[in-house]
Amino acid sequence: MEKLIFSFIVIFLVTPLTVFGVDCSQLTTQEEIHALVAAAKEAYPLERSKISGQLIVSPCEKSECSKKNIELRKKKLMTLHSLRVGDDKRTYFIQGENAPMCVVTRGIRKFKCSDCSAISNDECRSFNSKSSIEGTNLDSVDMQILNSADYINTCEPYKKSKKFFKIIATKQSGNSLYDKIVTFYEQKRGVFIKINYYAENVLRKVYRFT
């Protein structure tokens, strides 16, 4: 399984929780942690009703990139606009390998289009809808499993800074690919800033939010 790093550079501020200053002393039960996760997920860019931003797909962290990987990282840069209304979604790839493709999702059907006009979905190839973004392994299922009953969650302070804490989710059952998920939260706003996904004790995927 390839390790990929995802960074979101978006043009809107992440919406904070209504309760400020949350920390591990307030997250001692599974119910309390699930409530935090559910609220934090509302700020996840690709689940918002309207976003316009930049998605960076990288095979490595900056400090770990070899010269070859740095060049690959540059090639994976994507700029996209995403609009969502209910179950309908339109993703327009402006820059990157998939540009200028438009992907229209209507319920269980997905339409790949050469443009993003109002009637483009009537002129496009149709496929079964899936949860991942075209050309990446960025998957909305990764967000859904954050508060899955298949995992046991614990909260730990982040030793390097009191501004953050982390939720460690360890799989107990189910068929998820990931044995462990570590989510880093900003304490003041209660939103996640990074999510690490592990399989067989190896870091497989990283999401970063700025």
Which pLDDT tens digit goes with each residue over 112-157?
Answer: 887 776 655 556 777 665 556 665 666 778 888 998 999 999 999 9
Long-range contacts of 150-154 (CB under 8 A, 24+ apart): 150/174, 150/176, 151/176, 151/181, 152/30, 153/30, 153/33, 153/34
Q: Do 146 and 181 form a contact (C-beta atoms < 8 A)?
A: yes
CA-to-CA separations, 63 to 17, 27, 58, 59, 70, in angstroms, rounded:
32, 33, 12, 12, 10
**Amino acid of residue 210:** T
Q: Do 59 and 4 form a contact (C-beta atoms < 8 A)?
A: yes
Q: Mind listing the pLDDT tens digit for each residue in 20-42?
A: 578 899 999 999 999 999 888 87
Residue for token pair 């969502």: 84
Tell me the H-state helices in 94-207: 141-144
Is the confidence at residue 176, as pLDDT, over 60? yes
Q: What pTM, to 2 d.p., does this model score? A: 0.70
The pLDDT mean for the chain works out to 76
Q: Do 192 and 166 form a contact (C-beta atoms < 8 A)?
A: no
Residue 47's CB: how many other CB atoms inside 10 A?
14
Take residue 26 and report the two structure tokens written for it.
């307030």
- Please give the sequence-ordered ranges of beta strands (E in DSSP) within 11-101, or none if there are none: 50-58, 77-85, 88-95
